[in-house]
Amino acid sequence: MARTQRRIKCIYCLKVKPKHDFNREHVIPEALGKFQNNLLLHETVCSDCNKYFGNNLEIILNRDTAEGVYRYKFGIKPKEEPAHRRISFRIAEGGELEGVHVRPIPETRGGDISHEPLPQVGFLKKETGKYVYFKSDEIPEKKTLIDMGFDLKETQMIVPHDRQLPALLKRLEEKGLKMELKGELEWPESVKTGSKVAILGDLRIDRPIFRAICKIGFNYLALALGREFVLRDDFDGIRNYVRYNNGDTKRFFSTDPRPILYEEARLGVSVTQGHIIVAEWQGIRLVGRLRLFNMFTYVVTYCRYYSGIWFPFASGHHFDPETRMVTELGKASRRLIPI
């Protein structure tokens, strides 16, 4: 007689599927660090949802955020070169390279984050006597540059590789600009290593990143309290927001200017560069807090009005990217700042 395979309900799509349709799911994406005793969900997230999250949410969180860049410091190298659309960097210090657009370079050995310039053109602003740099895909039309007060006779073209120069020259011609090469500028070693030059970052976080953060938080709640608990109707709002992009972001995602760890607030210094994740009560609300590489505090609201019987609960973990170990934060009461 054939044995019937056990069927399981996914915590996101709520579909009941055979056991073999479920992958193991990392609470925090593996692209943000591999840990010896990582927190994993088993028989909880189906392979369809797992694939959807990887292709639509995690890829953006891991590549196009400040946290995604900071992982280079620990030698966490992406499988493919990331194309930054939500984050950009410029040299902030004075000097002839001020304002030059750069991109961080993944280093497998970790340490200081290296930078190289993007293909760009600098035009001299008559009013200030300084160059303003435009990336190749952002160069204005010739007339616009003149109206903005630029001296088109004074320009600087920057490309990290000679093979990129023809495309930049073609782009300039399309904008009605014809440039002549006037020599080469050596890229300083201090900029390459990023050790002595201040880099200014412009960040933009949007709905896919909000949803990716909420997914991490919901994964953690499922790990802490179990799959059956998070299948309750109380959590339909956040599961639909994460999986199907339904709902108002403000109901589920917010930020907090404070750190999570109490000793960091007391001492005024960071005591870790690792990930910190917490789930706990706030009155009748269940909330989670997350700091990736201990950079920004994100607050995830699992449900605003819990309909079940209240029970004491607080859970927290620390992921150390240097030791590659995950440790529990005890009962999460003495070490954590209350919301």
pLDDT in tens, 97-131: 889 999 888 766 666 777 888 999 999 998 999 99
What distance in Å separates the CA atoms of residue 288 and residue 308, rounded to the nearest whole number? Answer: 18
Q: In this predicted structure, what is the pLDDT of residue 258?
A: 92
- Paired tokens of 163: 């093979």
How high is the pLDDT of residue 87? 87
The pLDDT score that the predictor gives to residue 191 is 57
What is the C-alpha separation between 187 and 181, in angstroms, rounded? 17
- pLDDT for position 139: 94
Q: pTM for the whole thing?
A: 0.85
pLDDT of residue 333: 44
The confidence score (pLDDT) of residue 196 equals: 58
> With helix as H, strand as E and coil as C, how does the chain read?
CCCCCCEEECCCCCCEEEHHHEEEEECCCHHHCCCCCCCEEEEEEEHHHHHHHHHHHHHHHHHCCHHHHHHHHHCCCCCCCCCCCCEEEEECCCCCCCCCEEEEECCCCCCCCEEEECCEEEEEECCCCCEEEEEHHHCCCHHHHHHCCEEEEEEEEECCCHHHHHHHHHHHHHCCCCCCCCCCCCCCHHHHHCCCCCEEEEECCCHHHHHHHHHHHHHHHHHHHCHHHHCCHHHHHHHHHHHHCCCCHHHHEEEECCCCEHHHHHHCCCCCCCEEEEEEEECCEEEEEEEHHHCCEEEEEEECCCCCCCCCCEEEEEEECCCCEEEECCCCCCCECCC
pLDDT, position 85:
82
Smallest Cα–Cα separation from 15: which of 231, 225, 220, 208?
231
pLDDT at position 263 is 85
Q: Which residues of the chain have pLDDT under 50?
A: 1-2, 332-333
